[in-house]
Amino acid sequence: MGRAKAGIIRPSQIPAFALPSSITSGEPLTEPSSARTPTTPLRPSACPGLLRIVPALDGGICRIKLPGGVITAAQASAVAEAAERFAGGVIEATNRGNLQIRGIGTEHDQLIAMLLDAGLGPKNPASDDVRNLMISPTAGIDPLQLFDARALAARILHSLETHPRFHELSPKFALSLDAGEGLAMLEHPHDLWLSALHVNGETLLGFGLTGCPATHSPLAAVTVDAGHDLVVTVLELFLEHARPEQARMRHLLQEIPAWQFLERLSKRLRYPLQIDQKITTWRRGPIQLNAHIGLYPQRQAGLISVGGVVPLGRLSPSMLRSAAALSVEWGDGSLAMTPWQSLMVRNVSRERAGSALEGLRGAGLLCDADQALSQLIACTGSAACSKGLSDTKAEALQLAACLQHAGVNQAVHLSGCNRACAAAHVAPITLLAVSAGRYDLYFRDAAQPGFGVLRGRDLTIEAVGAMLTADSRSNTDD
């Protein structure tokens, strides 16, 4: 099986379906905190990680966090082999650009060892949970980017992995870095988001505490060079002031208003905060819809990125192996997983882009935005989750067939319960399961909380399909 990597705990130390004490101990804190002591435990979570396998109806779940969403072809092959040998052969693309393996049996330690030997683990085992930084899958190659975000992202990830205090963060505490790319997930809420903007001839990093660039303006901005210092200081302040049960930034801001947090931040930063009307009223422009599907131009002359949607977020080992092989044959030997539950082969020569696209189609990926299934997302549902009220995956396939037959293309999220695990933001259309085979239908409305406006109750999938088809034709007639 091979040895465990240096600096990583051995899989034999990790009990099944549990967080090992060797992870919670960590190193001594480097500076005092008025809010907690060095012995304060990690914030509780049921989130799976690479080193913590969480049980489900179909077996254990192991989540593999990918720096920048990127995985090499060799690593992808290791994931495929691990899923075949030690699990049920189900690999999922997550809505944060990561991968997870489902259906893990009793040989969880062997699975973890294989992933660690492939270099898919953290530098420090205590940091596995907190490596939650999302960047564009086209960072560094996007023709619209204001700067190359990869170097800053690497510095932030390094601090998350090596700064002992940051290992206290909740596994749900998340950051995003948007450098102005044309392909970027702007709707996912984050505890700290950074978005590049151009003001008075200078590229700055606007930032917000909670929310997202799609719907919020920055609270303030710093220079790009100060971005790393900003992130570190924000996280340190959060950990100093938040109680352990305040796992997210929004919880802290219920007690400490954002303007007070900014005051404390400005006193701690080595660089000045820039707060003026051009920054605090700035809004991020939208991205092109479905730009992650098919061919996406790169800033490098003669190169193209080629993308395909993973059907309902599920990859078989053979699909992942095929995509990895294509990345070696046509691209740069790596895959970029996206927050739209898709993947991209990057740095493909323009002459070979068509062949690469056909290769992804042949592997089973959805490479055309007009395919109804490419617009649907669904949680694992009652087939594998005890909280799921309906078999969302099977019913999503049924709905996709109905919409495809009618020539209707709608972005729909099917959720087996109100936790809405498969979508980090509210989808244009949400189907919320209320019982087996029955759903409430919601249409997103910015003026309404939750999923939006309720358009139908206790509907079958056939009834939903008929309603969406009729609604689409009505909108077209308008």
Structure tokens at 204: 């700055």
Burial of 478 (0-12, 13-18, 19+ CB in 10 A): exposed
pLDDT over 80 (residue 318): yes
Average pLDDT, the chain: 90
Range scoring the smallest mean pLDDT among 17-26, 418-427, 454-463: 17-26
- How many other β-carbons are positioned within 10 Å of the β-carbon of residue 279? 19
Count Cα neighbours of 400 within 13 Å in the Cβ-side half-sphere.
22
Checking if the pLDDT of 376 tops 70, the result is yes
pLDDT tens digit string along 252-265?
999 999 999 999 99
C-beta atoms surrounding 17 within 10 Å? 15
| 65 contacts: CB under 8 Å, gap ≥ 6 | 49, 50, 98, 122, 128, 131, 132
The residues near 217 (Cβ < 8 Å, ≥ 6 apart) are 206, 208, 279, 280, 281, 282, 283
Take residue 51 and report the two structure tokens written for it: 């080193």
Q: What distance in Å separates the CA atoms of residue 436 and residue 459, rounded to the nearest whole number?
A: 11
Task: Find the mean pLDDT for residues 340-347.
Answer: 98
d(CA 366, CA 362): 9
Write out pLDDT tens, residues 268-304: 999 999 999 999 999 999 999 999 999 999 999 999 9
Question: CA 358 to CA 345: how far, in whole Å?
Answer: 12
What is the Cα gyration radius of the chain? 22
Residue bearing the bigger pLDDT, 421 or 148: 148
Burial level of 288, CB count in 10 A (0-12/13-18/19+)? exposed
CA dist., res. 57 & res. 474, Å (int): 41
CB atoms within 10 A of CB 402: 18
% pLDDT > 70, the chain: 89
Quick one: what percent of the chain has pLDDT higher than 90? 87
Given this model, what pLDDT does residue 19 score? 29
pLDDT above 50 for 237: yes
pLDDT of residue 121: 94
Q: Answer yes or no: is pLDDT of 9 > 70.
A: no
Rounded Cα distance between 278 and 263, Å, is: 19
Does the pLDDT of residue 26 top 60, yes or no?
Answer: no
Element (H, E) at 314: strand 314-315
Torsion 125-126-129-132 (CA) sign? negative
Q: Flag whether pLDDT at 32 surpasses 70.
A: no
Residue spans of alpha helices (H) in 130-270: 150-162, 227-241, 249-253, 258-268
Instruction: Tell me the pTM.
Output: 0.89
- Cα–Cα distance measured from residue 461 to residue 455, given in angstroms and rounded to the nearest whole number: 14
pLDDT tens per residue, range 391-445 = 999 999 999 999 999 999 999 999 999 999 999 999 999 999 999 999 999 999 9
Cα separation, 227 vs 32, whole angstroms: 24
Angle 21-24-26 (CA atoms, 0-180°, nearest 5)? Answer: 115
Contact predicate 388/366, CB 8 Å: no
Given the DSSP bridges, would you call strands 412-415 and 376-378 parallel, antiparallel or unpaired?
parallel
Of the pLDDT bands very low, low, confident and very high (cuts 50, 70, 90), residue 125 is very high
Give the neighbor-by-neighbor strand order of the sheet with 429-435. 376-378, 412-415, 429-435, 438-443, 453-459
Q: Residue 40's pLDDT is what? A: 39
Helix (H) or strand (E) holding 377: strand 376-378
Question: How far is it, in rounded angstroms, from Cα 19 to Cα 72?
Answer: 28
**Can you tell me the distance from the alpha carbon of 399 to that of 378, in angstroms, rounded to the nearest whole number?**
11
